[in-house]
Amino acid sequence: MTVHDRPHDRDAERSRAAMVDELRRRGIDDERVLGAMAAVPRELFVDPDLADEAYADAPMAIGSGQTISTPWIVAFSAAALSLPDRARVLEVGTGSGYGAAVLAACGASVLTVERHPELAERARRTLDDAGYGDVRVRTGDGMAGAPLDAPFDGIVVTAMAQHQLPAALIEQLAPDGVLVCPIGDGGDGELVRHRHGETEGLVPVRFVPLVPGAPPSRT
C-alpha cells in the first residue's frame, strides 16, 4: 500500500479542501501556496493519535518541546516569500517537516535545518513517506544558515528570533531574496519580511524561541 491509497485518504482530502477554503477566507490568495496546502498530507506530519485534528488551525506538539505551525502561518509565510519559479529556499526549524513539504510543493528546492537531531531524523522519514524525498534535511544551528549552499531566493525561519534578525541569514540572501522571520521577546512577537535591505512588520505571531547552538545531548 502506498501513501496514496490509505483508507483515510478521502477524509484527509476533504479536510484539506476545507482547510484551503478557510485559508482563502482568511486572506491567503497565492494560488501556488494554496495548491501546495491542498497537496501536502498534513496528517502524516503530526502524532498518529492526533491525525484526526491535523487540519484544525491550531499548533500541535511534535515532541522535543516543539510544535508544528498552524496551517495559516505556514501558508502566510510561504506566500510572503513571493518565490520565483524553481526557487532555492532555506528553512530554519524543520520541526515536523510540514513547512518544508509545503515549500517543496510550491516548486522550490528546499534545504531545511533543525537543531534537534531526533526531530530532523523523524522529519527525514516523514518527508520520504509523504513523497518529498527531494527536500534536504540537515541537523545543526540554522541561525548560521547554510553558507556553502547560499545564496537563497527565500529564507523562512519558523522559530522566534530574539530581538534581531540573524545576521548570517541576511548575508545568505540572493540580491532579490526575501527573509521571513518572527522576531520578538520569548515566544511573542511579530513576523517580519526583510528584502533589499529593508525590514517590514507583517503580523503579530507566537512561535517557540529560536535557540542558538546545539541542543543538550540525549541521555
Q: Does 212 sit near ligand SAH (CB under 6 A)?
A: yes
Q: Does 189 sit near ligand SAH (CB under 6 A)?
A: no
Is the Cβ of residue 24 or residue 138 nearer to ligand SAH in the bound state?
138
The 121-150 site mask, x for binding ligand SAH (CB under 6 A), equals --------------------xxx-------
Site residues for ligand SAH, 101-120, by CB under 6 A, read 113-116, 119
Is the Cβ of residue 15 or residue 67 nearer to ligand SAH in the bound state?
67
Question: Closest distance between ligand SAH and the C-beta of residue 151, in Å?
Answer: 19
Cite the beta strand spans of the chain per DSSP E: 60-63, 66-68, 88-92, 109-114, 136-139, 152-157, 161-162, 173-185, 188-195, 198-206
Q: Is 69 among the catalytic positions? A: yes
Is the Cβ of residue 186 or residue 212 nearer to ligand SAH in the bound state?
212
**Position among 41, 95, 145, 182 found at the interface with ligand SAH (CB under 6 A):** 95
Q: Does 159 sit near ligand SAH (CB under 6 A)?
A: yes
Closest of 111, 163, 136, 143 to residue 213, by C-alpha: 143
Peptide bond into 48 cis (omega under 30): no
Q: Which residues contact 135 (CB under 8 A, 6 or more apart)?
A: 97, 100, 101, 104, 110, 111, 112, 127
Is the Cβ of residue 15 or residue 158 nearer to ligand SAH in the bound state?
158
Question: Closest distance between ligand SAH and the C-beta of residue 64, in Å?
Answer: 6
Only segment of 4-12, 91-99, 146-154, 185-193 that touches ligand SAH (CB under 6 A) = 91-99
Counting beta carbons within 10 angstroms of the beta carbon of residue 199, is it exposed (0 to 12), middle (13 to 18) or buried (19 or more)?
Answer: middle
Length of the chain: 219
**Position among 16, 55, 78, 99 found at the interface with ligand SAH (CB under 6 A):** 99
Q: Does 93 sit near ligand SAH (CB under 6 A)?
A: yes
- Rounded distance, CA 201 to CA 194, Å? 9
Q: What is the DSSP string of 130-185?
A: TT-TTSEEEES-GGG--TTT--EEEEEE-SBEESS--HHHHHTEEEEEEEEEEEEE
Closest of 153, 212, 140 to residue 179, by C-alpha: 153
Question: Closest distance between ligand SAH and the C-beta of residue 5, in Å?
Answer: 25
**Which positions are annotated as active-site residues?**
69
Interface with ligand SAH (CB under 6 A): 66-69, 92-93, 95-96, 98-99, 113-116, 119, 141-143, 158-159, 208, 210-212
